[in-house]
Structure 1
């Protein structure tokens, strides 16, 4: 899928990073800013009718609230969020200006850590 928000090679790197860490369990990859998004990958067996913009609004707002709420926590700095749903998981990796959410079938905690680290590395290198 072509991106209008990211340079093509960066979009490809984000998808490759997610795909490498998840294999066939990857459902989708979406890059987003506060006001827009690009769905970079969607597995063929999934419907293309999700209301992604409403996800973006919730994820962006929640990132800001979560980061602020835990700013001085003994747990350390906020890194990413994992949401569990009936049919899969959503991993949100967010910076102050943009983010990526990756949806998957079941993964281990170390798999989620690998995805998050790989995506952060791509976003930081651009």
Structure 2
């Protein structure tokens, strides 16, 4: 199984590497993919070797960007506190979405603990905020 780390047209190489390294450190071999996105474009930064590069990522971005805005606004005054990130559960894995006002990252994984998801989200958000 050879994993593929891809070049990014949207990010400086060191930032792309930091995002992949942060996700890989927190998830180990359970990491499936890392995708950086803006409202209008995306770069898949990492794809585990046993997976095909055939997902319709652009349609995910449209839904997830819209959902981020709605979710953040809907829970703005929640007793739970401010919105931080989204975890989606699928038959074959998980999608973690970390989003800021200008960009975001999808991390797909095999099973993780909640503390693993929190570690990934915190590390990714820190990198996005530092740019």
Fold shared, TM-score > 0.5 on shorter chain: yes
- Tell me the equivalent position of 1:23: 28
Q: For residues 81-120 of structure 1, what are the structure 2 equivalents within 5 Å?
A: 81-120=86-125
The alpha-carbon deviation at position 103 of structure 1 amounts to 0.1
Partner of 2:3: none
Per the alignment, residue 85 of structure 2 pairs with: 80
Q: Give the superposition deviation at 1:83.
A: 0.3
For residue 8 of structure 2, the aligned residue among 3, 19, 40 is 3
User: How many residues matched?
Assistant: 126
What residue in structure 1 maps to residue 72 of structure 2?
Answer: 67
**Structure 2: 5+ residue stretches without partners:** 1-5
- What are the Cα deviations for residues 56-96 of structure 1, in whole angstroms up to 9, with x where unaligned? 11110100010010011111100000000000000000000
CA apart distance, 1:124: 1.3
Q: TM-score, normalised to structure 1's length?
A: 0.99
**Match in the other structure for 1:13:** 18
Normalising by structure 2, we get a TM-score of 0.95
Please, what is the CA RMSD of the aligned residues?
0.5
Cα distance in 2 for partners of 1:124, 1:94 equals 10
Structure 1 distance, partners of 2:48, 2:104, is 20
Counterparts of 1:76 and 1:22 in 2: how far apart (Å)? 26
SS in 1 for 2:108: strand
Runs of 4+ in 1 over 6 A off after TM superposition: none
- The residue that corresponds to 2:39 in the other structure is 34
Q: Distance in 2 between matches of 1:94 and 1:104?
A: 17
